[in-house]
Amino acid sequence: VPEHVWRINLDTPEEAQQNLSFGAADRWWEQTDLTKLILASNKLQSLSEDVQLLPALTVLDVHDNQLTSLPSALGQLENLQKLDVSHNQLRSLPEELLRLPRLRSLLVQHNELSQLPEGLGQLLSLEELDVSNNQLTAIPTSFALLVNLVRLNLACNQLKELPADLSAMKSLRQLDCTKNYLETVPPKLATMASLEQLYLRKNKLRSLPELPSCKLLKELHAGENQIETLNAENLRQLSSLCVLELRDNKIKAVPEEITVLQKLERLDLANNDISRLPYTLGNLPQLKFLALEGNPLRTIRRDLLQKGTQELLKYLRSKIQDDGPGPKEEPPVTAMTLPSQSKVNIHAITTLKLLEYSDRQAAEIPQAVFDAVGPNPVATVNFSKNQLREIPPRLVELKDSVCDVSLGFNKISSISSELCLLQKLTHLDLRNNVLTALPEEMEALKRLHTINLAFNRFKVFPSVLYHLPALETILLSNNQVGSIDPMQLKGMDKLGTLDLQNNDLLQVPPELGNCENLRSLLLEGNPFRTPRAAVLAKGTAAVLEYLRSRIP
Q: Give the separation between CA 153 and CA 146, rounded to whole angstroms.
A: 14
Answer whether residue 305 is part of any domain.
no
Answer whether residue 422 is part of any domain.
yes
What is the tally of structural domains in the chain?
1
Q: Give the separation between CA 202 and CA 223, rounded to whole angstroms.
A: 6
Residue 395 pLDDT: 93
Answer whether residue 503 is part of any domain.
yes
Q: What is the pTM of this model?
A: 0.58
- 428 φ/ψ angles, rounded to the nearest 5 degrees: -135, 120
Residue 328 pLDDT: 38
Answer whether residue 532 is part of any domain.
yes
Q: Give the separation between CA 205 and CA 222, rounded to whole angstroms.
A: 8
DSSP state of 187: G
**Greatest C-alpha distance within the chain:** 132
**Structural domain for 387, as ranges:** 346-549
CATH of residue 414: 3.80.10.10
Written in H, E and C, the secondary structure of 380-412 is EEECCCCCCCCCCHHHHHHCCCCCEEECCCCCC
- Return the closest-CA partner of residue 469 out of 421, 509, 517, 513: 517
Answer whether residue 450 is part of any domain.
yes
Residue 23 pLDDT: 54
Answer whether residue 492 is part of any domain.
yes
From first to last of its 552 residues, the chain has per-residue pLDDT tens of 999 899 888 876 665 555 555 555 555 555 678 999 999 999 999 999 999 999 999 999 999 999 999 999 999 999 999 999 999 999 999 999 999 999 999 999 999 999 999 999 999 999 999 999 999 999 998 988 999 999 999 999 999 999 888 888 999 999 999 999 999 998 888 788 899 999 999 999 998 888 877 889 999 999 999 999 888 888 888 889 999 999 999 999 998 888 889 999 999 999 999 988 888 888 899 999 999 888 888 778 777 877 888 888 888 888 876 554 433 333 343 333 333 335 678 888 888 889 999 988 899 999 999 998 988 899 999 999 999 999 999 999 999 999 999 999 999 999 998 899 999 999 999 999 999 999 999 999 999 999 999 999 999 999 999 999 899 999 999 999 999 999 999 999 999 999 999 999 999 999 999 998 998 999 998 988 889 888 988 899 999 999 999 998
Answer yes or no: are the C-beta atoms of 393 and 420 closer than 8 Å.
no
Answer whether residue 524 is part of any domain.
yes
**Per-residue buried b or exposed e for 221-234, using 16+ beta carbons within 10 Å of the residue's own CB:** bbbbbebeebeeeb
Answer whether residue 461 is part of any domain.
yes
CA torsion angle for 101, 107, 109, 113 (degrees, to 10)? -20
Instruction: Count the alpha carbons within 13 Å of 145 in the hemisphere toward its beta carbon.
Output: 12
**Per-residue buried b or exposed e for 105-127, using 16+ beta carbons within 10 Å of the residue's own CB:** bbbbbbbebeebbeebbbbeebb
Question: Cis bond leading into 531, ω under 30°?
Answer: yes
